Chains A and B, each alone.
Chain A
Amino acid sequence: MHAFDYQAPRKLADAITQLSQLNGSARPLAGGTDLIDQMRVGRLAPQTVIDVKKLPELNVLQADDTGLRLGAAVPCYRIYGNEQIVKHYSALADSCHIIGGVQIQSRASVGGNLCNSGPAADSTPSLIALGGVCVIAGPQGTREVAAEAFCVGPGKNVLQPGELLVEIRFPAARPYSGSHYRRFIPRNEMDIAVVGVGAAVELDPSGKTIVSARIGLGAVAPTPLYAEAASQMLAGQEVNETTLQQAADAAKAIISPITDMRGTREYRIHVTGVLVQRVLQAAVQRARGETIDYRPGR
């Protein structure tokens, strides 16, 4: 690995100052599972690595009736180890359970997964489905960006030099709501999504009608997508095969997948339709308080 400086600031303001002064030649280090590998192969060669794990703001993990605050450096194992998240933000816990293996989950953070901005990132469709808002600190102050607007291309995002993702905030969990994330991979574990779908739904008290829904899609476009039309057309609809099929068709209409070693464009389009329906169905079941037939790695 190339030689670099290492800083581990304990104050957010110091981290922002360091990032600003180094003007793009520094990289934040959270779990390092992407960054260290990218430095090892020479794809990235920052002059300074700024370890952000000692910043209290980036370690916040707080779920209560005002919503969820997820610090950008919180590793996956803390996320799926949090009962409130498993119960009320299930899609996020689902994602964290299948990012790499257990060793990777000890270190990898959802904030890092988002900032790495890979099109197939497993946590981003869940952030989109759950209405996540990214809180970004920079030399000019703080700004907020919706999760679906954070990535702008493969490996590219809205962060400007000197800016740092601090946390992702989610609205309070509503009654009669549920969410799920699932990806399709040809192996059982340790693979990159061919297609990944996150969905969150809120039902009426009868459990039969959808009040609102949000669908996030991964690995089918240069960035993770919010399937806006598909999500909005579900509002007020009864849960049945026809409405879920229509949402799946609307989701398929906005994707632009590539053909690569994991699947052809046509295959990914087909799988998107299947997964959207299955994930919506699972989110509905969870919203009804039912247990879904899903185990990661199966």
Chain B
Amino acid sequence: MKTKTVVSTTINGGPVEFLCEPRQTLLEVLRNTLGLTGTKEGCSNGNCGACTVLMDGQPVVSCLVLAVEAEGAELRTIEGVACAGHLDDVQQAFLEGAALQCGICTPGFIMQTETLLEHNSTPTEDEIRFHLAGNLCRCTGYDKIVRAVQAAAAKRQAASQK
């Protein structure tokens, strides 16, 4: 009863097993058990999106997922975005466009942007703002974030047309 459970997942492409209690959220396990502290804790009630990770390709707020629910799931976190030491287009665009100040919301915005651009390579400003509505930023006022997403989309679009 209420014992720890072994959970087997794939995280950022590699198999990961961990031990957790049913009451632990995926966010807690990612950060405290697995040391994947790139995923940030913001509000812990599903409003701010700072803890966004991809679970079987879908963006979820990891504070509202029980770690035991991740059994068999494929997870992607901010640690899996950069490739071989190189920032990806979205990360680079956020950096170049100064689309962050304190940075706590940034991993969540980047994960959420990745899911947007995967399904919609040429989003309008309205579509960007709607898709990112579940991510809160208290520093930037959002405009630079929207412009960074547009820049990343344009860069990927240009690359795909080469």
Residues of chain A from 171 to 226 with CB closer than 8 A to chain B in the complex:
188-190
- For the complex of A and B, list the 9 residue pairs with the smallest distance between their C-beta atoms, beginning with the closest: A101-B134, A6-B22, A189-B133, A106-B58, A1-B23, A297-B130, A3-B2, A103-B61, A103-B134
Known A1-B23, A297-B126; contact A40-B60, beta-carbon cutoff 8 A: no
A243 part of interface (Cβ distance < 8 Å): no
A295 contact set on B, CB distance < 8 A: 126
Q: Report B-chain residues with C-beta under 8 Å of the C-beta of A49.
A: 22, 66
Q: A2-B23, A103-B112 are in contact. Are A36 and B133 (CB under 8 A)?
A: no
Instruction: Decide: B21 and A3 in contact? CB cutoff 8 A.
Output: yes
* B64 neighbours in A (Cβ, 8 Å): 32-33, 36-37, 104, 107
A interface with B by C-beta (< 8 Å): 1-6, 8, 29, 32-33, 36-37, 39-41, 49, 51, 53, 77, 100-104, 106-107, 188-190, 295-298
Tell me the bound Cα distance from A109 to B102 in angstroms: 34
B55 closest partner in A (C-beta): A106
Residue in A closest to B2 when the chains form the complex, CB atoms: A3
Partner pick for A102 among B1, B68, B134, CB 8 A cutoff: B134
Q: How many angstroms from the CA of A190 to the CA of B142 in the assembled complex?
A: 15
Q: Which of B44-74 contact A (CB under 8 A)?
A: 44-47, 49, 52, 55, 58-61, 63-66, 68-69, 71
> What residues of B have a CB within 8 angstroms of the CB of A104 in the complex?
46, 61, 64, 134
Q: Is B115 in contact with chain A by the CB < 8 A criterion?
A: yes
Which of A8, A101, A188 is B135 in contact with, Cβ under 8 Å?
A101
Tell me how far the C-beta of A241 lies from the nearest C-beta in chain B, rounded to whole angstroms: 30
Choose among B22, B59, B66, B133 the residue that contacts A297 (Cβ–Cβ < 8 A). Answer: B133
Q: Indicate with 1 or 0, residue by residue over B111-136, a CB within 8 angstroms of chain A CB atoms.
A: 01001000000000010011101110
Closest CB of chain B to A155's CB: distance in Å?
17
Q: Which chain B residue has the least Cβ–Cβ distance from A97?
A: B130
Chain B positions 7-24 with a Cβ under 8 Å from a chain A Cβ:
21-24
B157 on interface, CB distance cutoff 8 Å: no
Q: Check: B106 CB closer than 8 A to any chain A CB.
A: no
Q: What residues of chain A lie closer than 8 Å to B2, measured between beta carbons?
A: 3-5
> How near does chain A come to B43, taking the closest CB pair, in angstroms?
10
- Residue of B at shortest CB range from A51? B69
Which residues from B are CB-within-8-Å of A33? 46, 64
B33 touches A (CB below 8 Å): no
- Contacting residue for B134 out of A37, A51, A100, A296, CB 8 A: A100
Contact B69 A5 (CB under 8 A): no
- Does B91 count as interface, using CB distance less than 8 angstroms? no
A249 to B: closest C-beta gap in Å: 34
Are B130 and A103 closer than 8 Å at their CB atoms? no
Q: Which residues of A contact B52 (CB under 8 A)?
A: 103
The reply to whether the CB of B140 lies closer than 8 angstroms to some CB of chain A is no
Please report the C-alpha to C-alpha distance between residue A170 and residue B5 in the assembled complex, in whole angstroms. 39
Q: Which residue of A lies closest to B1 (CB)?
A: A5
Complex: how many Å from CA A8 to CA B46?
23
Pair A190/B60 contact, Cβ less than 8 Å: no
A79 and B22 CA atoms in complex are apart in Å by 28
The distance in angstroms between the C-alpha atoms of A37 and B126, with both chains bound, is: 29
Q: Supply 23 A–B pairs (Cβ within 8 Å), ascending by A.
A: A1-B25, A3-B2, A4-B2, A5-B22, A6-B5, A6-B22, A8-B68, A29-B66, A32-B66, A33-B46, A33-B64, A36-B63, A36-B64, A49-B22, A51-B69, A77-B58, A102-B59, A102-B112, A103-B49, A103-B61, A103-B112, A295-B126, A298-B126
Task: Identify 11 new A-B residue pairs, CB closer than 8 A, beyond the known A39-B23, A101-B49, A106-B60.
Answer: A1-B23, A4-B2, A37-B46, A100-B134, A101-B133, A101-B135, A106-B58, A188-B133, A190-B47, A190-B133, A297-B133
* A-side contacts of B126, CB under 8 Å: 295, 297-298
Nearest CB in chain A to that of B129: its residue: A297
Smallest CB-CB separation from B5: which chain A residue?
Answer: A6
Asked if residues B22 and A4 are in contact (CB atoms below 8 Å), the reply is yes
Q: Which of B58, B59, B65, B130 contacts A189 (CB 8 A)?
A: B130
Residue in A closest to B65 when the chains form the complex, CB atoms: A32
Are A103 and B21 touching (Cβ within 8 A)? no
Contacts of A8 in B (CB 8 A): 68, 71
- Output the nearest chain A residue to B44 by Cβ-Cβ distance: A40
**A1: B residues at CB distance < 8 A:** 23-25
